[in-house]
Chains A and B, each alone.
Chain A
Amino acid sequence: MSALLRGEWIKFRSVRSPWVMIAVAVAVVVALLIAGIAVDSSKGRDPAESLAVSSTFVIVLLLVLGVQLIAQEYRFGTIRATFTSVPDCSRLILAKMIFGVAVGLVSALIAIAGSFVVASIVANSYGHSIPIDARLVETVSGYVLAAGISVALGIAVGSITRNSALGITAVLLDMFVLESLVTVFASEGLGSVLPFRAAFASIPATSIRSGLSLWFVAVLVYAAWAVGLAVIGTVIVERRDP
């Protein structure tokens, strides 16, 4: 598996587009946190909420990144060589998912750590410090885990759709249309276990209300979606000729 992960790392680092996406994600997190603190300088705004503001955008971006990590292989025709070098597609998809989780976790950690450093400096200049409490710790933990799972989930979706436009459309439709419809017209309970509701429930400070009151249960639900879709993707890839 370490050999496969090294292969994924070379694939990842040797083109520019994933770096651009990650740079944008990091920039957005940092910018929103600073903005939150600067705008609300008098009160010293809750940094957990500032973080939560960026979560929708970051999760969408990391999902798109995940879809791209596999769809680009189909687009540019490297997928055949990838499968001849690793004929066991379950191992290949597993390696991609593990790598994806690592990319998401590391990006989110860098973004959050970076933004806290910058935010502390900004806050200090206004004469106050950033309050670190349990809720902030939970928010950061949930945020980082949700970020990792998002990339993996994107990879799972990409393994099913093979096409990035299709994969991204599916993700956005589900996120912004389908899940709201289910929550409104079916039941709140059912809605809360859908992937993106679970993703946002993973981050305690997000405003989206969810039936999943414990953030780490939501993390598990979100991860279960990624694993489930990856299993479906593996079965499909196994059956379909590339």
Chain B
Amino acid sequence: MQIEVSGITKRFGSVLAVDGLSFSVRPGAVTGFVGPNGAGKSTTMRVMLALDRADSGQATFDGHRYRELADPMRSVGALLDAEGVHPRRSARNHLAMFAATNRIPDARVDEVLGLVGLADVATRRAGGFSLGMSQHLGLALALLGDPPVMILDEPANGLDPEGILWIRRSMRYLADQGRSVFVSSHLLSELGQVVDELVVIGKGRLLASGSLHDVLGTQGRPLVTVVSPDARRLGELIARTGAAVVVDDVGAEGGGVEGGGAGESLRLDVTGLDAASVGELAAANGIVLHELTPREPSLEDAFLRLTSKTQEFRAGEAGS
């Protein structure tokens, strides 16, 4: 099932949560929906599922809006954040009540409980479940209708590394079966190598979309990490060359400048200028370097650069 999102805009009072967002999600692929916290991922997903009413725009599943789908759980499976369970209801009954409304056979309830590894606790009260078990139950609910589309909002939340691996493998498996898997995360690294396509948003707007390589095509662009007590000045100088610079507090990273005295030491992540050029630039301007490391471009770097999570230098700001 092909998902088309076109021009969705959603306001909450004065907050513009989603701003004219358009993208598509194709079957047979895992599409990562990434952006910093507050970027509007959950809101977009709620609009797609007709839970929130968009101010404009719409989402369609093979041309149909969510509300037009008969027995929607058979077409779209959803795992949203802050999804609840009555604490005194068993996992099996929790699923059975939704299966009933969408004409899904009761036998499927036990099947999905088995799939997510909750068969042993099927009759136990869901109130006693750990965060991980609750996430698994949420995934069971999404799988209940054996839907061609899966919409998962931060499914890795609250899971241990093993659980995250399990989620990744499940998504890969579902996509390989030809389903459209649309999954959000504020950390691209959490999704890891499992995503085929990316939709990157920031402040409700589309920043980039396409295949992983198109979006994060950092090949050929050198990546360098620099630590310097005079990082701000160096950052401005580097930015003037046209390279991208993201500044990071070393202390916050737990990096090794304790005892250096200067709490000023900052780490710069430079893209588009190689280590030699950075070193020469520093020397020419009499700037001391504590570290100068060329790095392999990672997904997270490219993602951070796209979403500019941390403070970014701009050439125009030099000399302030």
Contacts and interface: CB of A to CB of B under 8 A. Distances in A.
A6 B100 CA distance: 6
Nearest to B12: A241
Contact of B51 (A4, A9, A239, A242): A242
Interface in B62-84: 66-67, 69, 72-73, 76, 78, 80, 82-84
A10 B51 contact: no
B214 interface: no
Contacts of B73: 84-85
Contacts of B87: 76
A126 interface: no
B51 A7 contact: no
Contact of A85 (B53, B84, B101): B101
A187 interface: no
Interface stretch (A11-19, A26-34, A43-51): A11-19
Contact of A84 (B51, B90, B100): B51
A3 B100 contact: yes
A10 B52 CA distance: 27
Contacts of A57: none
Given A85-B73, A87-B50, A6 B101 contact: yes
Interface residues of A, number: 28
Interface string A58-80: 00000000000000100011101
B230 to A, nearest CB: 49
B96 interface: yes
Given A14-B97, A81-B141, A84-B72, A3 B103 contact: yes
A88 to B, nearest CB: 7
A10 B96 contact: yes
Nearest to A75: B84
A77 B84 contact: yes
Contacts of A84: 49-51, 72-73, 76, 78, 80
A14 B100 contact: no
A150 B13 CA distance: 37
A236 B20 CA distance: 26
B77 to A, nearest CB: 9
B100 A80 contact: no
Contact of B67 (A77, A81, A82, A88): A88
Contacts of A78: 83-86, 94
Nearest to B138: A81
Is chain A's binding surface mostly helix, strand, loop or mixed?
A: helix
A15 B90 CA distance: 9
A81 B102 CA distance: 12
Contacts of B82: 77, 80
Contacts of B93: 10, 14
A8 to B, nearest CB: 8
Nearest to B97: A10
Contacts of A72: 86
A165 interface: no
Contact of A241 (B53, B66, B101): B53
Nearest to A11: B97
A208 interface: no
B72 A10 contact: no
Contacts of A239: 53
A23 interface: no
B102 A83 contact: no
Contacts of B51: 80, 83-84, 241-242
Contacts of B100: 3, 6-7, 9-10
22 contacts: A4-B101, A8-B97, A10-B93, A14-B94, A14-B97, A16-B88, A76-B87, A77-B83, A78-B84, A80-B51, A80-B80, A80-B84, A81-B141, A82-B98, A83-B51, A84-B49, A85-B72, A85-B102, A86-B101, A87-B67, A241-B46, A241-B52
Interface of A: 3-4, 6-11, 14-17, 72, 76-78, 80-88, 239, 241-242
Interface of B: 46, 49-53, 66-67, 69, 72-73, 76, 78, 80, 82-90, 93-94, 96-98, 100-103, 141
